[in-house]
Each structure stands twice: as C-alpha cells, then as structure tokens.
Amino acid sequence: MVKSTRHAKYELYYHIVFVPKYRRSHLTEKTKERLETIFAEICEDKGLELAESEVMPDHVHLFIGSPPKNAPSLIVNWVKGISARKYNQRYDDHVKWTRSYYVGTAGSDSKGAVEQYIAEQEGGDE
C-alpha cells in the first residue's frame, strides 16, 4: 500500500537477512519468540512496518517497510543493535550478531513474492 509523508508518496520495503555470531544454531523456541517480539517493538518505536519476520535457527529474515528518510543501513543498525541490547538486558542467554548482513529492496510488485519466500522458510530447513 502506498504511504505518504508531507512531501512524498512511497512504498519502500527491505528484505533484511543477518546471522548470529559464529552462525550458531541457537535461535529456536523461546529465543525465537522473544526476538520476534523485540523486532516488532523496535519497528513500532521507530515508525517502521514489520511486514514479515522469520527467525530461523541460524539466521533471521525481516521484511520491513520504511519511509524514504531512513537509509537501509540505518534500519539494519537499529534492528541488530537494539535487539541485541534489549535481549541481553532481559534474558540470561545472550545474543550477538555478526557485522555483516544482506539487504534487498522491494516495491509493490515484488512485495508479495518476498513475503511468500520468507513465510516458506519455516519448512525449508527441515
């Protein structure tokens, strides 16, 4: 859906993928649920739209809508930095992210395809 600011109409979505440090497969069960809650909190606080999220045992897929004022690298820094800090303050089992990440852009045409891909990831690693 096209959104607007005072001076712009936009439909910007970013497919973001990142991994925990040492690519350990520990993002399961409670950790997964906790992270999904934290990602939703961050997006709400920063005025972003969390269109889709999937926490896999060894990586994270997020599909985030954002106004054009936010650079993709800033969004990634917010999500990774704030999520690690909040998670580590709240829980004893700590989470650390690598510095690397993938980010791809998507507009109205490919939004459905990316959402479908992320949704299908749950069953793909078995």
Residue ranges for the chain with pLDDT beneath 50: 125-126
Answer yes or no: are the C-beta atoms of 14 and 66 closer than 8 Å. yes
Q: What token pair was written down for 21? A: 């440090």
119 Cβ contact partners less than 8 Å away, ≥ 6 residues apart: 52, 54
Q: What is the pLDDT of residue 80?
A: 97
